Amino acid sequence: MSLRVLVAKVGLDGHDRGIKIVARILRDAGMEVVYTGLFQTADTVALAAIQEDVNVVGLSMLSGAHMTLAPLVVAALRERGSDIPVVVGGIVPPSDVVLLTAAGVAGVMGPGASDHEIIATITNAALVS
């Protein structure tokens, strides 16, 4: 059975180069990928993830708002009784990685992650959950 992944942009960040590349890499690796478009909120992402019954949510964040918004997405899922893991990719200072993990984020990918690393991070997150 192939993994289902929802990739999302939360908040106001319009940088969509990374998310589109990641979406294509995952699709080429045989995963089913849903992209909900720009300017989503934590609630719209959680609802879409549950409705689409995905195995992993991937958030792409390049505006520096990850410390505020990523935990909100995790919380929005948990409040609805979902344990879907959330992975973050983008511009994340190394010191924030520990904090995001503590806030319930299952994996963080920085700039320069290879396709192997991206596929492994998503697959691991799905397996561990």
Residues that bind another protein in the complex, under the rule CB under 8 A: 11-17, 20-21, 23-25, 27, 33, 35-39, 41, 63-65, 67-69, 91, 93-95, 110-112, 114-116
Rounded to the nearest whole angstrom, what is the least distance from the CB of residue 101 to another protein in the complex?
A: 17
Rounded to the nearest whole angstrom, what is the least distance from the CB of residue 70 to another protein in the complex?
A: 9
Pairs from 46-54 (Cβ < 8 Å, separation ≥ 24): 46/73, 46/76, 46/77, 46/79, 46/80, 46/82, 47/80, 48/6, 48/8, 49/6, 49/77, 49/82, 49/84, 50/77, 50/80, 50/82, 50/84, 52/4, 52/6, 53/4, 54/4, 54/5, 54/6, 54/84
Q: Which is nearer to another protein, 81 or 94 (CB)?
A: 94
Q: Which is nearer to another protein, 51 or 129 (CB)?
A: 51
Rounded to the nearest whole angstrom, what is the least distance from the CB of residue 125 to another protein in the complex?
A: 20
Rounded to the nearest whole angstrom, what is the least distance from the CB of residue 68 to another protein in the complex?
A: 3
